[in-house]
Amino acid sequence: MSEKRDGLFARAEEVLSLFRRGAEFTQDLIKENERLRLQVAHFEAQNLAASDDVQWEKLRQALIARIENLEGEKQDILDRLNQVEGENRHFAERYLEIEEENNNLASLYVASYQLHSTLDLSEVIKIVVEIVINLIGAEVFAIYVLDERTEVLTPVAAEGREIADFPPCQLGQGMVGVAVASGETQCGDAAGPGQPEHPLVCVPLRVQERPIGAIAIHKLLQQKDGFTPLDHELFTLLGGHAATAVFAARLYSQSERKLNTIQGFIDLLTK
Amino acid sequence: MARHRILIVEDSPTMRQLLVFALKRLKEVDIVEAQDGMDGLRKVSSDHFDLALIDINMPVMDGLKLISLIRGEDNLRAMPIIVITTEGAQEDRERAIALGANEYLAKPIQANRVLRLAQSLLKAE
């Protein structure tokens, strides 16, 4: 009895499932029919517009307006692209300029730091020589120091030639003497004879208005074509900082000597 | 990423400081300085370096001698070397390259050029 009832329920379930699938299929058919009807209505409207001159003209005008609008938008985008590209170029150029400026500042900082790293006069002169060779790129040059009592500029260091090849000169005389007396950097003729009296450039070393000495550059390294803006910055830096360093080292050396003399005198008195 | 070790062999403290300034812009580097060729040889023999910058004109031992000694050592043969010198003549360049230098820069140097060469040699290593 129970088996018969289970069989009936199973059959009923199968029939119900069949009806459900049939209902789903009908729903799909209705949807597809709706879609096709809308499409037919759309095509009919287009056909109507195409067949009616007024409707067609409206459609044409609308399309032209849309194209003009899109053209305008395209032009705006192209203008903005050009603007952004221009800005990028400008930023790239600025980046290079800043990088160069940064390198130049590093060179100036290193030169300045080294010049004031010692109070030993011979060390200071050695550092000036290093700066002129390595940072400026000079092959032949001399460094002069002024004797304030005699007003004679005497070479204390030279590169590329013997120091004896650079004769001492009187303050205010010759290119070196004039540069030191006036405090103005003197530029010679690059195609000149290259004699000790005719340097390419002469940089006076001064502490405020007090003349200290000069750097006379006669020849640049063969790979160096000429002076760069950084070289001129270095000339300005050397003109002030090298002079201060030489002046401080000389004062320190004098005070050391005096201190030793006084100490010796005190020792003599107290013994 | 492992840190790179760079050796600067240069007798001028000014140049050494300038090179350190330039190379410090590279990320993850340790910079060691040597003040002449002999000092450089001692340091390169006792420690590992990924790059060496060597001056030519130095007291005690010059840069060319140092390069030839470095290239004579099996374990140092592959270490990239940049020569930085005042000698700008073509024959000096050819001599240094023939001895085993990878790049040759004549003074006065541009810091960004040193930086780019160092970057490319460290990448290629």
CATH topology of domain B4-120: Rossmann fold (3.40.50)
Query: Can you tell me the ipTM of this complex?
Result: 0.86
Which band of pLDDT confidence, cut at 50, 70 and 90, is reported for residue B125?
A: low
Q: With pLDDT > 70 as the criterion, what percentage of chain A qualifies?
A: 96
Cβ contact, residue pair B14, A127, below 8 Å: yes
Residue position matching structure tokens 């040597």: B34
Nearest to A110 among B21, B86, B106 (CB): B21
Cβ contact, residue pair B112, A103, below 8 Å: yes
Contact A132, A115 (CB under 8 A): no
Question: Is 70 exceeded by the pLDDT of residue B67?
Answer: yes
Which band of pLDDT confidence, cut at 50, 70 and 90, is reported for residue A193?
A: low
Is A120 within 8 Å of chain B by CB? no
Cβ contact, residue pair A221, B110, below 8 Å: no
Is A159 within 8 Å of chain B by CB? no
Could you tell me the residue ranges of all domains in chain A? 120-258
Q: What is the rounded average pLDDT of the residues A128-145? A: 93
Distances, alpha carbon A216 to alpha carbons A182, A239, B15, in Å: 15, 12, 21
Question: Is 60 exceeded by the pLDDT of residue A97?
Answer: yes
E strands in chain A: 138-147, 152-159, 169-170, 186-187, 201-207, 210-220
Could you tell me the residue ranges of all domains in chain B? 4-120
CB < 8 Å from B in window 24-43 of A: none
Question: Is 70 exceeded by the pLDDT of residue A196?
Answer: no
Q: What is the rounded average pLDDT of the residues A225-236? A: 88
Mean pLDDT of chain B: 91
Cβ contact, residue pair B86, A100, below 8 Å: no
Q: What was the pLDDT predicted at A35?
A: 93
B81's CB contacts (< 8 A; 6+ apart) are B51, B52, B53, B54, B67, B70, B100, B101, B102, B103
Name the nearest CA neighbour of A245 among A123, A153, A141: A123
What predicted TM-score, i.e. pTM, was given to this entire model?
A: 0.74
Question: Is 70 exceeded by the pLDDT of residue A189?
Answer: no
Which band of pLDDT confidence, cut at 50, 70 and 90, is reported for residue A6?
A: confident
Q: With pLDDT > 90 as the criterion, what percentage of chain A qualifies?
A: 52
Peptide bond into A155 cis (omega under 30): no
Question: Helix axis angle, A229-237 relative to A53-115, nearest 10°?
Answer: 40
Question: Is 60 exceeded by the pLDDT of residue A17?
Answer: yes
CATH topology of domain A120-258: Beta-Lactamase (3.30.450)
Cβ contact, residue pair B18, A110, below 8 Å: yes
Highest mean pLDDT among A68-72, A131-135, A192-196, B24-28: A68-72
Alpha carbon A74 to its chain centroid, in Å, reads 36
Q: Chain A contacts of B116, Cβ < 8 Å?
A: none
What is the CA angle A124-A127-A129, rounded to 5?
115
